[in-house]
A = this chain, B = another copy of it.
Amino acid sequence: MLDATSSYKIMDQRIPVDDRTGRRIVPETHSRADRLATTRYGNRPTMKDVAARAGVGLKTVSRVVNGEAGVTPETEHRVREAIEALGFRRNDSARVLRKGRTASIGLVLEDLADPFYGPLSRAVEEVARANGALLINGSSAEDPEREQELVLALCARRVDGLVVIPAGDDHRYLEPELKAGVATVFVDRPAGRIDADVVLSDNFGGARDAVAHLIAHGHRRIGFIGDMPRIHTAAERLRGYRAAMEDAGIEVADAWTSLGVTDPQRVRRAAEEMLSGPSPVTAIFTGNNRVTVTVIRVLAEHTRRVALVGFDDIELADLLQPGVTVVAQDAATLGRTAAERLFRQLDGTLLTPERIELPTRLITRGSGELPPAD
């Protein structure tokens, strides 16, 4: 019975959609209630069903499905018909169990919605796709515990590899996984207490260049608003800021640096404070794209011209008045490099963990070239 009603072709689209007469054979839709009533989860057709219907052995179906040699065209045809008729789809879970590889990689980042991670994710996805793998991804929300939880869940799924933008600084929990052969690459920030591939931007150099740029334009009282120094990138950028100041022989006043603020409200207040008081800053260096955006808003409300250089590029930065000078990192290259290394690990081509540092680029657009408004 089921055979009779489900014998239409599905997978190859050769359905003769005759709007006048075809209806009985090919119902356009099924109500969900129908579906649930007729099929409980798990009674999908299996290779066994296909084999029975085609009148062949189990292994023959497997051969057809996997394009292995040794099947007569005629037999293959019968099998394919059965597959189409039943709507069979290979169960990759079972396949994985048998074969050992899942053809999927995990990507753990901080926040899927952050524009910085969009291009990075896509780059990782593209490389994965080129290598026939799917991408499973999740956000840690900057929480080390959640990062670990996520990573271990991915390992339980037996992803072949992991691209991790770490939130925590101790990754020894990954030791058993690394030993078991899970390829792993850390991106954007280094791994903690573990020897693994790392792909980073030159946060220190980029920050130092940015601040040096401001100094070259005559600024001496330069503020820095950045994330918690617990985060490696934030710490490096802070270090770059300090290095540039020290190189110029400028002593940094406490009031000029604000660390760990991250929500717009507090960034706003931090900026306001730097801009007021007895010796207000004449320029601000912002530690990431979110901070930059907020500070742009604050500065827009001020009449006094304050110079600004931001870490990370932001869209439309060139159209603002003045254009926003930034230190841009190449998120796509970061992701692509990491993913490529991952697959080279899986190839066995890559044996020694390395630390790769990608250069940043100072893009001058106006805001960083404003003279001090003393």
Contacts and interface: CB of A to CB of B under 8 A. Distances in A.
Interface of A: 10-11, 13, 15, 28-33, 35-36, 38-44, 87, 89-94, 96-97, 100-102, 104, 111-115, 117-119, 121-122, 125, 129, 134-139, 152-158, 170, 172-173, 175-181, 193-195, 293, 296-297, 300, 314-317, 319-321, 345, 348, 350-353
A201 B178 CA distance: 45
Nearest to A26: B172
Contacts of A177: 87, 89
Given A87-B175, A90-B156, A94-B97, 14 more contacts: A30-B179, A32-B345, A32-B350, A32-B351, A32-B352, A33-B352, A35-B181, A89-B177, A113-B118, A113-B121, A115-B315, A117-B118, A118-B118, A122-B139
Contacts of A36: 181, 348, 351
A266 B13 CA distance: 34
A193 B30 CA distance: 11
A31 B197 CA distance: 11
Nearest to A152: B89
22 contacts: A10-B173, A29-B195, A30-B178, A32-B178, A32-B350, A35-B178, A38-B179, A41-B100, A43-B180, A87-B176, A89-B156, A91-B156, A92-B156, A92-B157, A97-B97, A118-B118, A122-B139, A125-B139, A129-B138, A134-B154, A134-B157, A296-B316
Contacts of A350: 32
A181 B345 CA distance: 37
A295 to B, nearest CB: 11
A300 B15 CA distance: 51
Nearest to A116: B118
A23 to B, nearest CB: 12
A353 B29 CA distance: 11
A153 B178 contact: no
B138 A138 contact: no
A11 B176 CA distance: 9
Nearest to A300: B319
Nearest to A95: B156
A195 B31 CA distance: 7
Contacts of A179: 30, 35, 38-39, 87
Given A38-B179, A314-B315, A112 B121 contact: yes
A33 B115 contact: no
Contacts of A293: 315-316
A179 B175 CA distance: 42
A344 to B, nearest CB: 11
A145 to B, nearest CB: 10
B15 A172 contact: yes
A242 B125 CA distance: 38
A181 B41 contact: yes
Nearest to A191: B29
Given A119-B113, A180-B39, A195-B31, A155 B89 contact: yes
A114 B122 CA distance: 9
B33 A351 contact: yes
B118 A115 contact: yes
